[in-house]
Amino acid sequence: MSNTDLVLKMYEYFNSGQLDRIQQEIFHPDIAWRMPGHHPLSGEMKGAPQVMAFFGELFKAGIVVDGVHFGELDDGTVVEKHMGHASASGQEYLFPTSTTYGIRDGRIADVQVHTADQHSVDRFMWSVFALKAIDERLAA
């Protein structure tokens, strides 16, 4: 399977709700997925379980992706560009995004999301994902 086909398979499994197959067949156990921004889902997720939890939250947020295009660089990195769409509190959000996928041992191992409108992503994420109350955060 080509590196691009591997990323396409991840999308196929995600869109059909086969998240367990992504973790079992697509993600390297030591995957690192980095999401830029200043919002509750930004940062680096390490390991397939953390990335799967991140995917679950994105799915709950109702983000839809279309206009997906792929290319493979000479080092095997897959580059993807797409348009994300979401709405919250009656406002529509657009997320023009590019993502790079590093492949190791035939699995996705290193992912970096590159957003074109980080302020819009941050506003949307904060409108959907509220932090716990301060006493709950401090109790942990």
Cβ atoms 126, 38 nearer than 8 A: no
pLDDT band per the 50, 70, 90 thresholds, residue 1: confident
Band of residue 130 on the pLDDT scale cut at 50, 70, 90: confident
Express each pLDDT in 37-54 by its tens digit: 999 999 999 999 999 999
* Two structure tokens written together for 3: 């590196």
The whole-number average pLDDT for the span 65-69 is 89
**All domains in the chain, ordered by first residue:** 3-129 (3.10.450.50)
Kindly tell me if the per-residue pLDDT of 139 is higher than 70: yes
Tens digits of per-residue pLDDT, 79-96?
999 999 999 999 999 999
| CA distance linking residue 14 with residue 21, whole number of Å | 9
The set of long-range contacts for 64-72, using a CB threshold of 8 Å and a minimum separation of 24, is 68/11, 70/4, 70/7, 70/8, 71/4, 72/2, 72/3, 72/4
Distance, CA of 27 to CA of 49 (rounded, Å)? 10
Strand partners, 70: 80
Instruction: Please report which confidence band the pLDDT of residue 140 belongs to, taking 50, 70 and 90 as the band edges.
Output: low
**Cβ–Cβ < 8 Å for 13, 26:** yes
